[in-house]
Chain A
Amino acid sequence: MIKITPEELKTITGYIHDISGIHLEASKKYLLETRLSSVVEEHGCGSYQELYQKAKRDARKVIEKQIIDAISTNETLFFRDNGPFELLRNKILPDLIDARTPRSPRLKTPLRIWSAASSTGQEVYSIAIVLKELLNDISKYNIKLLGTDISDAAVKQASMGKYNKFEIERGLTRDKLNKYFTLSGGFWKIKDEIRAMANFRKLNLMLPFAGLGKFDIVFCRNVAIYFTLEDRKKLFNKIADILEPDGYLIIGSTESLTGICSRFTPKRHLRSIFYQLK
């Protein structure tokens, strides 16, 4: 494994922050080495400095993407921490449907949901499964379910909806697995009816949310923890901008908005917390 010098550590962590918003402390030296040394070798570079120079010159941003894929954490699972999905099923969706259902039965009920750091898609598909089970006839709804992530590789896997046995056995019951996935070539693939409900695209949460539109529900779980306090403030402020006045924000179960964004107020439902605009 190629060792990183203190100067390189500064350069590389600065660069990673610029391209992804991910803030790495100097103590994450070992993480950088384990995740990046193969990228350094692959591009025939002798050092991290050389990789950095090469990445900066690379107009196609191939190296930049590889660095993001290598550094971003894709720890996720289906129905990770059941609380938010119970919240969605028992509180948020029923309330939203009450508020959004048009008077005319010919019009569809709009529901716009965004998973801001969708990783390899498990959260989005868990949401889709909840929607499908709760709403019965989803054709009566105009559903926009968007998943975004900084990593191209994660977005690609999410789009394919294809999981190996280690990814699949975590969080999914046998019943849900059989109902919503098909086994092919040793992989489980999400069924088309669920896949068709979702869209995935790459998004850097540090950049403006131009063109995203407004949302009724935003999931932004366990991603802001990788950002600096300043970047977190900016992020949740931008989320407040794109959330409907009566919309819902769900953050990670060990995250907090105290001292980060005063535009939200926390509300408790059973054992979970959600946020709404003041």
Chain B
Amino acid sequence: MNMSILVADDDPVIRRLLEKRLGDVGYGVTVAVDGVEAAGKLASSHFDVVITDLVMPGDIGGIELLQIAKDKDIMTEVIVITAHSSIDTAVDAMKKGAVDYLEKPVNFDELFLRLEKIAQLKSLVRNADDLRNAMDVTESSAAQTIQNLEITAADLQLKIDQIDTFLRDSQLNEYDKIDKALQVIGS
């Protein structure tokens, strides 16, 4: 699955490295120099995955970016990158919905494995969505057919009950019974 990835990191070296390595294996990579620029990019395009540094200059740090990304699309997965000293914040990010965290320096084999897992999960979710959509279409078409049959059956039952009442009515002679029954049938 060809995923689109947004990388937000204020460190130009890490940023370029991520851009190159991820691009080399075929992911569509967009980079942002800080949280504010990343938030702007999130507003205008959709990303499957956001990889963000936890600590960035400006008003939008990694945690805030995580929330912005999740607010826009809950299915966007966020991986946070953290220095060893801020593991607690990374765990906090996981609680707030980040899918994973990576410690600096970034181990690319590890990152690729995690992205692969995310891609697999997304493809399963997409399959499930497709199946559900197909089921919804089938179900709503079946529902209309069943509704029509249900109403028709109820109408016919009503007529049968009316005819039954006339046929049992001892006040009526045979001709009137048949006449009334035919009226119900023809109505």
Contact = CB atoms under 8 A, between A and B. Distances in A.
Given A169-B75, A186-B94, A81 B139 contact: yes
Contacts of B75: 165, 169
Interface residues of B, number: 22
A152 B37 CA distance: 48
A185 B139 contact: no
A257 interface: yes
A273 interface: yes
B137 interface: no
A83 B74 CA distance: 25
Contact of B125 (A166, A184, A254): A166
Interface in A79-115: 81, 83
A266 interface: yes
A34 to B, nearest CB: 17
B150 A256 contact: yes
A256 B97 contact: no
A81 B139 CA distance: 9
Given A168-B74, A169-B75, A266 B154 contact: yes
A41 interface: no
B149 A258 contact: yes
A60 interface: no
A185 to B, nearest CB: 5
Given A169-B75, A185-B95, A265-B154, A253 B149 contact: no
Contacts, number: 51
Contacts of A254: 139, 142-143, 146
B151 A266 contact: yes
Given A169-B74, A254-B139, A273 B97 contact: no
A225 to B, nearest CB: 12
B43 interface: no
B46 interface: no
A162 to B, nearest CB: 14
Given A186-B96, A262-B157, A253 B151 contact: no
Nearest to A222: B139
Contacts of A255: 146
B153 interface: yes
Interface of A: 81, 83, 165-166, 168-169, 174, 183-186, 253-258, 262, 265-266, 268, 271, 273
Name the 7 nearest CB pairs between A and B, nearest first. A253-B143, A258-B153, A266-B150, A254-B142, A273-B147, A169-B74, A266-B154
